[in-house]
Structure 1
Amino acid sequence: MGTEEKPIIKIMLADDHPLFIEGLTLMLKRETDFDLCGIANNGREVLDMLPVYKPDLILLDINMPKMNGLETIKYIKQSYPNIKIVMLSGYFDDAIIKEAKSKGANGYLLKSS
């Protein structure tokens, strides 16, 4: 039996906190199944980078400057409906989780996890 190669998952990270980005970047770079293809600091940067990097998954902070994560989801899903989105947040809020899911988020991850 031959060994099948697992596809590499292209991940884009969007967050405005440098220390959080640095920590998550170090974790993701240790994993051979992931390719961290882009890092954005706000929603506008995410939208500008999408056509270039074409990620499979976006880890998207909710609270960012210029365009927050909840606004950004709407634009991502209009043009790239197959991209998976996991929202990142520092706090647990049922209303925000429901709003994110209704806009197309596939998951919600607390930064403290």
Structure 2
Amino acid sequence: MTVKTERVATARCLRVEGREIALDPEGYLVDLSDWTPAVAEAMAGEEGRVLTPEHWEVIDVLRDFYARFEMAPAMRALVKAVGQALGPEKGRSLHLMKLFPESPAKVGARLAGLPKPTNCL
């Protein structure tokens, strides 16, 4: 997998499997339909992050939440959704902070190919 970042006007592009994937200035997908697991891996790789099976569990919960509610969850809703889907041990802020230390809701949504959660700064 070749990963290449280029500046284009106000957005940047990520090259994944021969395709140009447009990102906004904060690193979120411009076109949500561009998301694939390979895109998530490339985005994570740019940040020096390796996605483990635990990351993928949370990404799956995020994508399911978005499919049901048409919005990316803020932190409180994310904790609740993860707890319901994966059990109380994984549905804790501490667990999510270990996986996405910067901001589980924002980073998780970005890697899941979702828009930035509305209640996150």
Structure with bigger helix share is 2
Both structures adopt the same fold (TM-score exceeding 0.5): no
Return the TM-score normalized by structure 1. 0.32
Structure with bigger strand share is 1
